[in-house]
């Protein structure tokens, strides 16, 4: 992996995120800094959900939700940061979470700039593999379920949970949508082409174009999106023209690439 991780930027530099909570531990000793940083991410997993919706999602049908946007650079950096702080910067979990910048193709902008600079926080994360996307879904599910458990049992975020003695109930499961599910999401709005998002040589900030009638953003463009079927993506990217958009069209891939990202869907139990 050629990506060189940069420090977390100041909160004032970007908008609220799905998991982000500013880490105010700069004047503490290292052990306290680590602890507070982890607590901060746990606190922040409640951001983004409306009502009983899982964070970051919109209800599509009973028990089934979809991310409003594609997963962004800042969302992914928070995942990477968590893996580093919990498992260590030489751990397999951390190293496997890093995007692979060797697949970046735009010469006018380095991948490190696109991925790490605050002005691109809300752009979709790219140059990640199918396996990495699946791992992110599992990590996200774990963090949100843990937060629900804490809230239900009134466990403070300063209290550590002994996972050898506790089974966290599964309330939500984030995952990649099946091709059929993705097509249904895209079909919720009959005017998808009117909000086609294809500009420049890389993905634009999510929801730069107005959301469609379903309340979802960028189903008709920006970056193509992985599905649960490995190697099959849906939706046009900035490399396509609006007339190429067709809900039924499959785009194939066999490795990470600069035009491919993903969004999660979420199943929630009653």
Better pLDDT: 127 or 28: 127
Q: What is the pLDDT of residue 200?
A: 67
Beta-carbon neighbour count of residue 254 at 10 Å? 9
* pLDDT computed for residue 211 by the predictor: 62
Backbone angles phi, psi at 33, to 5 degrees: -60, -45
How many percent of the chain have pLDDT more than 90?
Answer: 57
Whether the per-residue pLDDT at 243 is higher than 90: the answer is: no
Residue 41, pLDDT above cutoff 60: no
At residue 213, the pLDDT reads 67
Mean pLDDT, rounded, for 85-107: 94
- Predicted pLDDT at 1: 45
Max avg pLDDT among 162-171, 200-209, 254-263: 254-263
**What span, in angstroms and rounded, lies between the C-alpha atoms of 7 and 15?**
17
Longest dimension (CA), the chain: 56
Confidence class of residue 34 from pLDDT cuts 50, 70 and 90? very low
For the chain, what is the mean pLDDT? Answer: 81
Question: Residues 188-208: what's their mean pLDDT?
Answer: 68
The mean pLDDT of 108-125, rounded to a whole number, is: 94
Give me the mean pLDDT over the 95-120 stretch.
Answer: 93
Residue with tokens 């650079």: 73
- The pLDDT score that the predictor gives to residue 194 is 46
pTM: 0.82
Say whether pLDDT at 29 is over 80: no
- For the chain, which domains are there? 15-268 (3.90.1580)
Query: Is the pLDDT assigned to residue 32 strictly greater than 80?
Result: no
For 138, residues 6+ apart whose C-beta sits below 8 A from its C-beta are 174
Lowest mean pLDDT among 54-63, 182-191, 231-240: 182-191
Instruction: Write down the residue that tokens 């209800």 correspond to.
Output: 59
């Amino acid at each position: 992996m050629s990506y060189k991780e940069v420090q977390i930027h100041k909160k004032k530099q970007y908008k609220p995120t799905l998991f982000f909570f500013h880490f105010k531990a700069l004047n503490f000793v290292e052990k306290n800094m680590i602890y507070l940083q982890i607590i901060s991410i746990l606190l922040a997993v409640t951001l983004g959900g409306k009502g009983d919706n899982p964070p970051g999602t919109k209800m599509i049908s009973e028990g089934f939700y979809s991310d409003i946007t594609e997963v962004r650079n800042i969302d992914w950096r928070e995942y990477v940061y968590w893996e580093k702080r919990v498992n260590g910067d030489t751990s397999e979990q951390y190293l496997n979470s890093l995007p692979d910048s060797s697949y970046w193709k735009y010469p006018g902008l380095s991948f490190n700039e696109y991925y790490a600079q605050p002005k691109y926080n809300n752009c979709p994360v790219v140059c990640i593999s199918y396996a990495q996307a699946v791992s992110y879904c599992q990590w996200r599910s774990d963090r949100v379920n843990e937060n629900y458990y804490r809230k239900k049992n009134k466990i403070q975020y300063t209290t550590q949970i002994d996972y050898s003695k506790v089974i966290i109930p599964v309330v939500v499961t984030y995952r990649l949508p099946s091709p059929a599910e993705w097509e249904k999401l895209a079909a919720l709005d009959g005017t998808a082409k009117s909000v086609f998002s294809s500009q420049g040589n890389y993905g634009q900030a999510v929801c730069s174009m107005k959301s469609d009638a379903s309340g979802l953003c960028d189903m008709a463009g920006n970056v193509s999106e992985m599905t649960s079927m490995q190697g099959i993506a849906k939706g046009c990217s900035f490399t396509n023209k609006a007339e190429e958009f067709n809900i039924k069209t499959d785009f194939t891939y066999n490795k990470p690439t600069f035009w491919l990202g993903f969004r999660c869907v979420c199943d929630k139990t009653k």
